[in-house]
Structure 1
Amino acid sequence: MNIIDLLTQRDFLIAVLAAISAAAVVFTFGSGFIVRTEMRDRVKRVALEREKMRAQEMARLRGSAPADSRNIRRSAETKTYMKNVVERFNLRKAFQDDATVEKLAMAGYRGQGHLTTYLFARFVSPLVIFLIAALYTLVLSPGDRPLYLNLVYAIGAGLLGAYLPNVMLKNTTQKRQASIRKAWPDCLDLLLLCVEAGMSMEHAFKRVAREIGQQSAELAEELTLTTAELAFLEDRGRAYDNLGRRTGLDGVRSVMTALIQADRYGTSVGQALRVMAEEGREQRMMEAEKKAASLPPKLTVPLILCFLPVLFIVIIAPAMIKVFAGPVASTVGGG
């Protein structure tokens, strides 16, 4: 049989097309699994590198020895009993929502270990505070109150204890945001100088993180994590967006939005940073003027309570001494 006749046969062509189709299907599904596996490994490497750079930066700022990857991995893991309690009682479904991870990131807590610890604290804190309050009101200091009233007090204390982890998390977030907000205008100026000097954004973030650490360790930590994400993530805009979400500050988000637009449309990064740096300085000046304007009303109460009584005593005391000394002197002279 001629090879041309074989290639032109209908059955042969159908078999070849079927084989090509089967190979395409296998390649499509196989490549999907391969890409998924590579992406999972890449995410793991990014997370480990972020934790490593974070630990090294915090160790450098505290002046201690840098931690190795084994210590980082050990610190990221949570206690076994906490994990068992969270899984047994399905606390993720009960307490975790879409904003929980973002709130923990704003406070500087990242990873599944911190999330598990937070969920465990929300579950245990009301029970512990209820037991302590019940022990105090029923055993240590029952007083003359009836039993049901002591139980009501203990239950109320337990209900208030349910909000204790949220209050502590919010307090930590506010302190962290205050530190970042205070150092952010200087950070923008340093970024502008580095970019205008010819540095790339990765090197600029790394250099500024090293310089700004003495003023704000929290901001240096965030910039270090952003440097790691810029080096490992394929999308630079995602790294900028992550920095804005982790800080939770409008000023940082606006700067990151400007950097994303500059990277997407090819505009000048230096010009965007210059504009945002000027806005940051103006915003800091407005905040200083706002504090200065609010100072006179705040001084009214201390002035009335502290300064005016002393002033009245100094002014009226000589006259009062003369008034009371006059009758005494006349009495002595008459005697």
Structure 2
Amino acid sequence: MSMPAVFLALAVATAVVALGLLSLMLVQSVRERRLTRRYQGERAQDGTVRNGAGAAWVAGMAEGGERIDRLLKNPDETRILLAQAGWRDAQSRTVFYACQFGLPVLIGLFVLPLSGVLGLTSGSLNSLLLVAFVVIVSLLAPRYVLRARAKRRRERISAEVPLFINLLVLLFEAGLNMRQALSSLVRDGASTMPELVNELAPILRQIEAGADADQLLFETGKLMAIEELDTVLGILRQVERYGGEIREPLLEALDNLQSKRSMALREQVNVMSGKMTVVLVTCFFPPLLIFIAGPAFMSISETLGGL
């Protein structure tokens, strides 16, 4: 038996085992919910069951997605990515985990008829390989979408940090303390700093409820993993804990931020100039040489041909 056939057989077996595990996890989650309802003494009537059937299926798919997430990656990474993407509420997490579980199953079920339309016989090796490939891609697709969403949002937050620093300086110079400044930004800054306001609003609510502001700012800075924002939040933590002057540290942080972005822009310009040089050499110089040296070369060749 040749090596490609062995690899194909292993891929098919892996896909079959994966689909079986997904089905078993779904059945197990349904049984666990039933046992939980019986243990808690819930007696839902027929109308309530019909109304909550869709939600129950989504919850079951979400539980299966969480199990898949634990099998594929560290669950803490998913939690961090969801927070960085701005999907902090339970509904958003449920939808993501439901997609993580339901997308491979649905796509796998749709690919089987499609393979028949494409001329692949049901149960053939090519059909099974196509299903296995699509299921594996659909398993990884939600995480890549989540990473792309988190990356774009972190870039937007990073772009809003300079304005955030300037507004903090103005508010502190007006005599406001840290909590009053954050409250003013959350109340009036949604149109200019939408992403930062969405991050600051839950922090402000927890601070007003009595939570430790120092710990909240520290956790937010580490969770978002944005160097500029972490620096600003560190200054706010220092002022909240020890007091003191805040205008100079904020302005110094703003100068450092502008210097880093200026250096990054210069580096980008240098890289772009190098790329343009390659394009110039490969696309512009050959036609120019032909245009300039072509007539002279033809005249020399005609003269030598006459001799």
TM-score by length of 2: 0.68
Distance in 1 (CA, whole Å) between partners of 2:61 and 2:122 is: 36
Q: Percent identity?
A: 23
1:121 corresponds, among 79, 99, 102, to 99
Which deviates the most, 208-217 or 228-237? 208-217
Q: 1:127 to 1:294 in 2, by over 3 A?
A: same
Preserved contact between residue 187 and residue 212 of structure 1 (Cα < 8 Å) = no
CA deviations over 1:96-129 (Å, ceiling 9, x no partner): 5233222101001012211111111111222223
State the one-letter code of the partner of 1:134.
L
Q: CA deviation at 1:313?
A: 5.4
Preserved contact between residue 153 and residue 195 of structure 2 (Cα < 8 Å) = yes
Preserved contact between residue 179 and residue 216 of structure 1 (Cα < 8 Å) = no
Q: Specify the alignment match of 2:60 in structure 1.
A: 84
Distance in 2 (CA, whole Å) between partners of 1:289 and 1:244 is: 27
Of structures 1 and 2, the larger Rg is shown by 1
Q: Specify the alignment match of 2:236 in structure 1.
A: 259
CA deviations over 1:296-329 (Å, ceiling 9, x no partner): 2222343345433553455356668x86xx99xx
Distance in 2 (CA, whole Å) between partners of 1:220 and 1:178 is: 15
Structure 1's unaligned 5+ residue stretches are 1-77, 328-335
Q: 1:194 to 1:167 in 2, by over 3 A?
A: same
> Does 2:135 align with 1:158?
yes
CA deviations over 1:29-64 (Å, ceiling 9, x no partner): xxxxxxxxxxxxxxxxxxxxxxxxxxxxxxxxxxxx
Q: Specify the alignment match of 1:99 in structure 2.
A: 77
Report matched runs for 1:169-318 at 5 Å.
Answer: 169-209=146-186, 213-312=190-289, 314-315=291-292
* Helix, strand or coil at the partner of 2:76: coil
Distance in 2 (CA, whole Å) between partners of 1:210 and 1:302 is: 50
Q: 1:229 to 1:291 in 2, by over 3 A?
A: farther
* Helix, strand or coil at the partner of 1:129: helix
Distance in 2 (CA, whole Å) between partners of 1:161 and 1:94 is: 12
Report matched runs for 1:53-92 at 5 Å.
Answer: 79-87=55-63, 89=64, 91-92=65-66
TM-score by length of 1: 0.63
Q: CA deviation at 1:237?
A: 1.2
How many residues in Structure 1 have an aligned counterpart in Structure 2? Answer: 247
Structure 2's unaligned 5+ residue stretches are 1-53
Preserved contact between residue 134 and residue 150 of structure 1 (Cα < 8 Å) = yes
Q: 1:114 to 1:146 in 2, by over 3 A?
A: closer
Distance in 1 (CA, whole Å) between partners of 2:161 and 2:256 is: 11
RMSD of the alignment, in Å?
3.3
